[in-house]
Copies of this chain bind each other. A is one copy, B any other.
């Protein structure tokens, strides 16, 4: 069956080309995305990089120090040995829908061009994944992120929000860091809702090391959850990669919620990305007596994030219009009592009655209205069960 072998060879060659580019081009690359958008084939681009062909343009510079090393076969093997696989735009499980939406938005919003980090505002060229299919998991996803220095309050809020989102099966995306991220992933697992860790290092590594067991549980969660990264095997976590990773957390989610973040928390960077990529930026308020929610408050104050206090309010912002009525929960939990529902004049009349009987004229004089209007309102109040009639007098019920 020579044709089959050819197809497999072809497939394998493309895969190696993607793996090679994933290795020699660190993180997102606007020039590479540009070439792909122009219809250039991945194998042709990989060949162009290796042969230093001028038409690859700025990619020449981006690959200058690394182009000589082709460790594609080795990287694919390392990934496989660690239960990971390469996911590329060729694959059905490639999350093209959220990525197109997010990076298409930033392309369209030309006023963002030139802002800090602008060169990173492009899609990843490849992903390394353990667990379920990114495309499926990211269909209904919300990012829940926050400080590593989590407080008891941040812990309670993260659990409350993720439990609420789990009830409607939203995928919880986060960065796998200690603190809020960890509580978000753990609560998702515990409540049977999908979760995605977006890591800032190669798929055979775990950062932070303390979360190794958690990441293994996520990768092994019956294909419901996943650990993904745009970095190939061997890449260790680094500050600049966390910032680049944050863009992917935001890009894969319909909205990003920062639960707890102090003044210069990295979680706020994810919020900035959410706003840039056209998804909903949300922040949870907290006590102003500590510094834990300072960053959240600043973003709300400046109009850069929407204040949210519950899973319902998050859903109201990220689900199609009219699906959720977050206001209703309060109306339901705190209905107005019969007295709060009275009009101003009714209130004046009611206030003019007491537990002792009072003739209509006195009630009218106290309320400052005519006797005939007082009678009219008193009869109404009687029907509402608020006052009782004693002959020509009135007194409050109960």
Q: Hey, which bits of chain A sit against chain B, CB under 8 A?
A: 26, 61-62, 64-66, 116-117, 120, 153, 156-157, 160, 238-241, 243, 262-264, 284-289, 293-294, 297-298, 300-301, 306-310, 313, 330, 333-334, 336, 339-340, 344, 347-348, 350-352, 364-365, 368-371
Max chain B Cβ within 10 angstroms of own Cβ: one of A120, A301, A340, A348: A301
* 20 intermolecular pairs with C-beta atoms under 8 Å apart: A65-B364, A65-B365, A66-B365, A116-B344, A160-B288, A238-B351, A239-B347, A240-B351, A243-B344, A263-B334, A264-B334, A284-B288, A285-B300, A286-B287, A294-B330, A297-B307, A297-B309, A298-B330, A301-B306, A301-B309
A339 to chain B, nearest CB (A): 7
Max chain B Cβ within 10 angstroms of own Cβ: one of A120, A156, A160, A351: A351
- A243 cross-chain contacts in B, Cβ below 8 A: 344, 347
Q: Is A310's CB under 8 angstroms from B288's CB? A: yes
- A157 cross-chain contacts in B, Cβ below 8 A: 288-289
Q: In the complex, A390 Cα to B368 Cα: how many Å?
A: 92
Copies of the chain in the assembly: 2
Q: In the complex, A352 Cα to B364 Cα: how many Å?
A: 84
A153 to chain B, nearest CB (A): 6
Q: In the complex, A372 Cα to B26 Cα: how many Å?
A: 19
- A262 cross-chain contacts in B, Cβ below 8 A: 334
- A239 cross-chain contacts in B, Cβ below 8 A: 339, 347, 350-351
Q: Is A301's CB under 8 angstroms from B307's CB? A: yes
- A156 cross-chain contacts in B, Cβ below 8 A: 289
Max chain B Cβ within 10 angstroms of own Cβ: one of A120, A157, A309: A309
With A264-B340, A297-B307 in contact, is A288–B285 under 8 Å at CB? yes
Q: In the complex, A153 Cα to B306 Cα: how many Å?
A: 23
Q: In the complex, A369 Cα to B66 Cα: how many Å?
A: 9
Q: Is B289's CB under 8 angstroms from A313's CB? A: no
Q: Is A370's CB under 8 angstroms from B284's CB? A: no
Partner of A330, one of B263, B293, B310, B340: B263
Q: Is B289's CB under 8 angstroms from A288's CB? A: no
With A157-B289, A288-B309, A351-B238 in contact, is A300–B298 under 8 Å at CB? no
A242 to chain B, nearest CB (A): 10
Considering only CB atoms, which chain B residue lies closest to A369 in the complex?
B65
Partner of A348, one of B240, B298, B330, B333: B240
Q: Is A368's CB under 8 angstroms from B65's CB? A: yes
Q: In the complex, A352 Cα to B243 Cα: how many Å?
A: 16
- A340 cross-chain contacts in B, Cβ below 8 A: 264
Q: Is A65's CB under 8 angstroms from B370's CB? A: yes
A30 to chain B, nearest CB (A): 13
Known: A65-B365, A240-B344, A288-B309. 14 other contacts (CB 8 A): A26-B368, A61-B370, A64-B370, A65-B364, A65-B371, A153-B289, A238-B347, A238-B351, A239-B339, A264-B336, A286-B287, A288-B310, A297-B309, A301-B306
- A298 cross-chain contacts in B, Cβ below 8 A: 330
Q: Is A66's CB under 8 angstroms from B286's CB? A: no
- A120 cross-chain contacts in B, Cβ below 8 A: 344
